[in-house]
């Protein structure tokens, strides 16, 4: 079956500011088991991140944009960290590649330690 745009005048184009979502988030069911707050946070970060997946949005700004309480944001971030979709090192978020992680044992150990440290971040009002 051949596909045709319903409205050819409104075909999407890459915007001047870079942003995308990888279809593997759906086809590989990477977000399926995440709570909606984690899904919302991931979508927000994908929209505001640069071409390297980096964003400096503060907790306060994210909570305002997504209408989330602090504990909900912390839980959402923890869920994305545990599923290895993001890294977070205050104040920087990094969306991670969905490609398999290929690293030597020292890099894997460092990443595992970093993730466990980030998950235990104290809650802040």
pTM, whole model, 2 decimals? Answer: 0.72
CA 103 to chain centroid:
21
Give the pLDDT confidence of 79-117 residue by residue, as tens digits.
999 999 999 999 999 999 888 776 555 555 555 555 555
Question: Which pLDDT score, from 0 to 100, does residue 125 have?
Answer: 47
| Domains of the chain by start residue, with CATH | 18-119 (1.10.10)
Query: How many CA atoms does the CB half-sphere of 107 hold within 13 Å?
Result: 4
Question: Which pLDDT score, from 0 to 100, does residue 1 have?
Answer: 83
Question: Which pLDDT score, from 0 to 100, does residue 107 have?
Answer: 52
Question: Which pLDDT score, from 0 to 100, does residue 69 have?
Answer: 97
Q: Grade residue 6 by pLDDT with cuts at 50, 70 and 90.
A: confident
Token pair in block for residue 61: 């700004």
Q: Is the pLDDT at 76 greater than 90, yes or no?
A: yes
> Across the beta sheet with 92-95, what order do the strands follow?
54-55, 92-95, 86-89
């Amino acid at each position: 079956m051949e596909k045709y745009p319903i409205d050819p005048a409104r075909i999407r184009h890459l915007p001047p500011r870079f942003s995308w979502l990888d279809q593997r988030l759906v086809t590989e069911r990477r977000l399926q088991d995440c709570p909606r707050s984690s899904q919302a946070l991931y979508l927000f970060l994908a929209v505001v991140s640069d071409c390297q997946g980096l964003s400096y949005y503060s907790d306060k700004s994210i909570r305002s944009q997504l209408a989330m309480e602090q504990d909900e944001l912390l839980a959402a971030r923890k869920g994305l960290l545990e599923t290895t979709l993001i890294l977070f090192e205050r104040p920087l978020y990094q969306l991670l590649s969905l490609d398999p992680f290929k690293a030597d044992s020292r890099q894997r150990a460092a990443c595992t330690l970093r993730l466990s440290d980030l998950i235990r971040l104290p809650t802040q009002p």
